[in-house]
């Protein structure tokens, strides 16, 4: 019985070390594989029942575990959609074959890195057929609220590289100085005109003509101007008319004193602006607050447009896509605008090492990994997303080679035990001779 148990222990040792050699060979083979997580094989002793006088060897049992929670070093690349997770969390991906089959919601898989590029359909995919998933943004770039404990709100990120986009103008600010001498008695009453370009809802360039006409008093200075705003998109129709007066005191000379609406939206002293309706919709016009010199002023003897600012842009072509640290996917256009089109969450689980490992360095949630939650990148327990980067393998080749030498010696020693048991059994057999 004792000799037989020794033989079984030796066999279990060979099996356990062969299993360890398999994990070592897999690790070394994937030492240069981006996102690969090394497999660790541990040995556990097996104790068989027996008395002190008659010990029975139990042998050893091997157990292997993929250390998915370990993170490799990040290396920089030249592709803006090469992504890696820095810290805790996983990128949600799906197989393009499942997406193409349109068999309902594709199975969400997890990855820590990937080199994504647009395919023929515009999907951000890897060369191994994995598509990046994200939440779609509204037309204004806002990402709605989606459920965080399910992948149903996620969809493959699709980039239309031939997309054109423009943004209508919704706000402009005027910094204009009117000549103080223009509203004095005896002035010739010459008005001043300013044309400000804006973009309508179709990205077409239009103009808002702003005319300033002084009120000429019989004596002294009126410090009063009539401001008329005309829209070229409506054939030059007036969309706003305002009576603007200026302060001539020592403390606030030249600043706005009052603004009275004759036609158009009312002037809001809190914001220093009014809203006028051009053909494409409302535009907020900022002319400055009462008593402050940050908008329209009346000083000196010259008309000077000091600063004109506005939002909106003409139609432009998409020239690039990037993912920021918070997971927002931004599309860049040659007109200079940037639009948010998707948001990539990071998936977190209580036990990452309990995930089911699949091909292409992907993983699938399982009962052992626990329930998952979709976090905003760079919030909660998760890390951030790094673009222009890939995650290297977690394999240390020097350590694996050292472990291989140890495994080889252990395997040889167990083989020697079997050889010794065989010789002892042979001696037992020879007793009969």
* Digit-coded pLDDT (tens) for 49-88: 766 667 778 788 999 999 999 999 999 999 999 999 999 9
What integer pLDDT is reported at residue 364 of this predicted model?
Answer: 96
Residues 97 and 147 in one domain: yes
Distance CA(78)–CA(89), nearest Å, equals: 23
pLDDT for position 45: 86
Q: Same domain for 194 and 307?
A: yes
CA distance 222 to 95: 74
pLDDT on residue 1: 54
Three-class secondary structure of residue 71 per DSSP: coil
For residue 433, the model assigns a pLDDT of 64
* Alpha-carbon distances of 367 from 349, 350, 352, 354, rounded to whole Å: 11, 11, 11, 8
Across-strand partners of 165? 316
- Residue-wise pLDDT for 367-407, tens only, equals 999 999 999 999 999 999 999 999 999 999 999 999 999 99
In a domain, 339, yes or no: no
* Residue 125 resides in a domain: yes
Check: CB of residue 338 under 8 Å from CB of residue 321: no
Which pLDDT score is estimated for 337?
A: 84
Same domain, 97 and 45: no
Shared-domain flag, residues 151 and 283: no
Residues 258 and 204 grouped into a single domain: yes
Interior angle at CA 159, CA 156 and CA 162, nearest 5: 155
The radius of gyration computed from the CA coordinates of the chain, to the nearest angstrom, equals 37
Regarding whether 237 and 276 lie in a shared domain, the answer is yes
Are 181 and 306 members of one domain?
A: yes
Calpha distance 282→298 (Å, rounded): 27
Is residue 334's pLDDT more than 90?
A: no
CA-based end-to-end distance of the chain: 22
Mean pLDDT of 312-339: 89
Is 330 contained in some domain?
A: no
pLDDT in tens, 194-236: 999 999 988 888 999 999 999 999 999 999 999 999 999 999 9
Residue 320 lies in a domain: no
Q: What is the pLDDT of residues 88-121, one digit of tens each?
A: 999 999 999 998 886 667 899 999 999 999 998 8
Shared domain for 279 and 198, answered yes or no, is: yes
pLDDT tens digits, one per residue of 292-318: 998 999 999 999 999 999 998 888 888
- The CA distance from 405 to 403, in Å, is 5
> Residues 265, 149: one domain?
no
* Alpha carbon distance 41, 414 (integer Å): 17
Residues 6+ apart with CB under 8 A from 412: none
Check residue 65 and give left, alpha or beta (phi > 0: left; psi -120 to 50: alpha): beta
pLDDT of 103 reads 65
Alpha carbon of residue 276 to chain centroid? 37
Considering the domain boundaries, does residue 254 fall inside one? yes
| Structure confidence at residue 106 (pLDDT) | 87
Domain count for the chain, please give it. 3
Domain of 177, in residue numbers: 169-311
**Mean pLDDT (whole number) for 231-260:** 95
Give the phi and the psi of residue 377 in degrees, each rounded to 5: -60, 145
Inter-residue contact 348 to 89 (CB < 8 Å): yes
273 & 193 share domain: yes
Cα separation, 303 vs 247, in Å, equals 17
What percent of the chain stands above pLDDT 70? Answer: 97
Q: Nearest to residue 277, comparing CAs of 263, 264, 260? A: 264
| Chain center to CA of 409 | 49
Question: What is the residue-averaged pLDDT of the chain?
Answer: 92
Using 50, 70 and 90 to split pLDDT, how confident is the model at 265?
Answer: very high
Average pLDDT over residues 333-354: 92
Helix %, strand %, coil % of the chain (to 5)? 20, 40, 40
pLDDT at 181 over 80: yes
């Amino acid at each position: 019985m004792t000799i037989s148990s020794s033989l079984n222990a030796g066999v279990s040792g060979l099996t356990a070390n062969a299993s360890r050699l398999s994990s070592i060979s897999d690790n070394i083979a994937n030492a240069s594989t981006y996102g690969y997580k090394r497999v660790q094989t541990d040995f556990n002793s097996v104790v068989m029942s027996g008395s002190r006088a008659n010990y029975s060897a139990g042998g050893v049992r091997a157990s292997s575990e993929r250390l998915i929670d370990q993170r490799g070093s990040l290396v920089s690349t030249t592709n803006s959609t090469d992504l890696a997770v820095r810290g805790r969390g996983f990128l949600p991906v799906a197989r393009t074959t499942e997406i193409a089959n349109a068999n309902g919601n594709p199975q969400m898989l997890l990855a820590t890195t990937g080199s994504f590029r647009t395919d023929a359909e515009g999907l951000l995919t890897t060369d191994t057929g994995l598509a990046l998933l994200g939440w779609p943004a509204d037309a204004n770039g806002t990402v709605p609220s989606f459920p965080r404990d399910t992948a149903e709100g996620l969809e493959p990120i699709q980039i239309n590289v031939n997309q054109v986009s423009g943004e209508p103008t919704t706000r402009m600010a005027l910094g204009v100085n009117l000549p103080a001498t223009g509203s004095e008695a005896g002035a010739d009453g010459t008005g001043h005109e300013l044309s400000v370009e804006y973009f309508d809802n179709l990205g077409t360039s239009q103009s808002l003509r702003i005319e300033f006409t002084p009120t000429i008093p019989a004596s002294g200075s009126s410090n009063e101007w009539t401001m008329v705003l005309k829209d070229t998109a409506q054939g030059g129709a007036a969309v706003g008319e305002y009576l603007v007066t200026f302060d001539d005191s020592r403390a606030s000379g030249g600043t706005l004193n009052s603004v009275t609406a004759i036609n158009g939206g009312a002037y809001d002293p809190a914001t220093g602006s009014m809203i006028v309706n051009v053909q494409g919709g409302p535009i907020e016009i900022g002319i400055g607050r009462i008593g402050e010199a940050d908008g329209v002023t009346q000083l000196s003897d010259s008309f000077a447009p000091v600063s004109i600012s506005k939002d909106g842009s003409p139609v432009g072509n998409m020239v690039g896509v990037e993912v920021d640290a918070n997971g927002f996917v931004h599309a860049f256009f040659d007109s200079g605008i940037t639009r948010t089109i998707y948001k990539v969450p990071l998936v977190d689980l209580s036990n990452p090492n309990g995930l089911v490992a699949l091909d292409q360095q992907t993983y699938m949630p399982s009962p052992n990994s626990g329930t998952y939650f979709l976090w905003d990148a760079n919030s909660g327990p998760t890390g951030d997303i790094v673009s222009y980067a890939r995650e290297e393998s977690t394999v240390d080749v020097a350590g694996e080679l050292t472990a291989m030498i140890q495994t080889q010696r252990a395997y040889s020693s167990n083989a020697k035990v079997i050889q010794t048991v065989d010789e002892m059994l042979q001696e037992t057999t020879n007793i009969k001779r």
